[in-house]
Amino acid sequence: MHAAVVAAFDQPPAFESFPDPSPSGPDEVVVEVLAVGLHPRVRSQADGSHYTSTDDLPLVPGIDGVGRTPDGAVRYFVLPDTRLGSMAQRTVIDLRRSIELPSDADPLAVAAAMNPAMSSWLALRRRISFSPGQRVLVLGATGNAGRLAVQVAKHLGAGQVTAAGRDAGLLTELPALGADRTVSLLDTDALGDAGSDVDVVLDYVWGRPTADALRAIVPARRNDSQPLTWVQVGSVAGLESPVPSAALRATSLAIVGSGQGSVAPRDILAELPELAAEISRGSFRICVRAVPLAEVTAAWSDAATARERIVLVP
């Protein structure tokens, strides 16, 4: 078969022949891959920078996808940490880490949206105690996961959603997705005001912008004892952030992370069906660009700047 193959961490994957996979346990089957999202998590898998990476090469990247099983069912699947990922004509899935999709589901939409949508869905449903009516601030709302976070928060009953981002043009699109307010990440006064009464922050940026946001928001809190749950979800602006210590003392601030590891695998699996059903019924607006798997090397460089989620189609 053919697959996207990473031979060195400093080079993008190339479309090459690769040994056919075979199942090794009673719950495993080989699927014909239909669609695979090129998520930031997959880019860090392929360049060796993700916290789960090992030095083992070559590897086929891809952490999830949509595939057809030998009995003809179309399933969304999540892969374990493996060197045989989903960016291949065929891959091995564990049926217990997959769900059958509704017959009208669009494989491209599901492959594009499950990973970015899961970031906010799991954070609000499994990582923190979120109640309908609470106010949510999304830091870094202009990316795929941030745009979905605005929609997911609204869908799950947020009383108010504020979208913060650095791209002024893209911010203007967010009210149409459900944002009640938008604010520039670069305008710290406005950011402080926007964060003065929120209950939850979904943070996709981290790095310096998060420290700046905390410096603006903490002094602006209207009620210091109102709980503020700051959920670290992404780190597009830096893996480390110089969080001011006083922020944790001056207000009722709790910083937690949400992702693979901090949310139990069984909780992640339990949420897949409902989220896939919402995506399949078109509850969220999703931007997708389909690219043939054979063009994976070019897609890799496009993904660095693409607004849409690139989905590779074998």
Ligand X SMILES: NC(=O)c1ccc[n+]([C@@H]2O[C@H](COP(=O)([O-])OP(=O)(O)OC[C@H]3O[C@@H](n4cnc5c(N)ncnc54)[C@H](OP(=O)(O)O)[C@@H]3O)[C@@H](O)[C@H]2O)c1
Toward ligand X, which CB reaches closer, 29 or 276? Answer: 276
In angstroms, give the least distance from the CB of 267 to ligand X. Answer: 12
In angstroms, give the least distance from the CB of 314 to ligand X. Answer: 22
Residue number of the CB closest to ligand X reads 143
Toward ligand X, which CB reaches closer, 61 or 143? Answer: 143
In angstroms, give the least distance from the CB of 293 to ligand X. Answer: 20
In angstroms, give the least distance from the CB of 115 to ligand X. Answer: 5
Q: β-pairing, 98-100 with 74-78?
A: antiparallel
Toward ligand X, which CB reaches closer, 39 or 135? Answer: 39
Toward ligand X, which CB reaches closer, 15 or 206? Answer: 206
**Amino acid at position 12, single letter:** P
In angstroms, give the least distance from the CB of 146 to ligand X. Answer: 5
Toward ligand X, which CB reaches closer, 185 or 200? Answer: 185
Are 87 and 312 contacting, i.e. CB atoms less than 8 angstroms apart? yes
Q: Tally Cβ neighbours within 10 Å of residue 131.
A: 12
Are 211 and 244 contacting, i.e. CB atoms less than 8 angstroms apart? yes
Q: Where are the beta strands (DSSP E) in the chain?
A: 2-5, 14-17, 28-37, 64-68, 74-78, 90-94, 98-100, 135-139, 160-165, 181-184, 200-203, 228-232, 253-257, 288-292, 309-313
Kindly list the residues in this chain that would bind ligand X in the complex (CB under 6 A).
39-41, 115-116, 118-119, 140, 142-146, 165-167, 170, 185, 204-205, 209, 233-237, 258-259
